[in-house]
Chains A and B, each alone.
Chain A
Amino acid sequence: MKFLFNHKWKRISGWIFYLTIPVGIYLLFTDSFEDLLKIRVFSLFHSETIFTTSNTENIIGSRGFQWIENGILDEILTFVIIVSGIIHSFCKEKIEDELISKIRMDSLVLSLYINYGVLLFFNFFVYELSYFYVMVFHLFTILILFNLIFRYKLNILYKS
């Protein structure tokens, strides 16, 4: 299969992927993103809020194409998790053959169905700002699901 990474990246990318996910979750729930690594960044779109409550955020307008102050730790973590997750997911196996390619393809399709099934479920049962958290998790769940399903199927194959 084309577009796969070299097998040597599998282990290191896996370590980075599985170690940065809990760090990201911790920082998200402790709201530590805003204060860390605050620098001026160029924003294409930036909404302005008048006040926020526990459940709602009232947006009064938006601005764009300007420099703003922003803590970039969340952006860095998102980048690291997604890049390491993609590399870990799409590294060649030690012996990469057509059966492995088929298992990879099946796992990808199954993880996509489950991922969007879960999203559709939350679409009707989680509302307002809480839905933002669903969307944040949704950025990573397809990679996590794919890895779990692919590893599980490979384990079954290697035991045969």
Chain B
Amino acid sequence: MKNNIRMYRGKFNLTQEDLSNKLGVSRQTINSIENNKYFPSLELGLKLSRIFECTVDDLFSLD
């Protein structure tokens, strides 16, 4: 599974720390998601899509 979190984070001018604070997770979790080491739950995916004002499909896609 690929994701565009890093791109959207850049678009919204957010650091990993800012995004982790908004989501209530650790910065390392954001880093792991961005590097495809961890695939987030549906709940976290939906929270990400709300922050980035897009759909979950825009953020995540299958290889």
Interface string of B22-43 (1 = CB under 8 A from A): 0011101101100100101100
Q: Is B7 an interface residue (CB 8 A)?
A: no
- Interface size classification for chain B: 10 to 19
Q: A98-B29, A98-B40, A158-B28 are in contact. List 5 more A-B contacts (CB 8 A).
A: A95-B25, A99-B28, A99-B38, A160-B28, A160-B31
Residues of A within 8 A of B26 (CB): 95, 97, 99-100
Q: List 25 A-B contacts (CB under 8 A).
A: A95-B25, A95-B26, A97-B24, A97-B25, A97-B26, A97-B29, A98-B25, A98-B40, A98-B44, A99-B25, A99-B26, A99-B28, A99-B29, A99-B32, A99-B38, A100-B26, A100-B29, A102-B38, A157-B28, A157-B32, A158-B28, A160-B28, A160-B31, A160-B32, A160-B35
Expressed in whole angstroms, the Cα–Cα distance for A160 and B31 within the complex equals 8
Interface string of B1-37 (1 = CB under 8 A from A): 0000000000000000000000011101101100100
Minimum C-beta distance from B39 to chain A (A): 10
Minimum C-beta distance from B17 to chain A (A): 12
* A100 and chain B: residue at smallest CB distance: B26
Which residues of A (114-132) have their CB < 8 Å from a CB of B?
A: none
Residues of A within 8 A of B41 (CB): 98
Minimum C-beta distance from B31 to chain A (A): 6
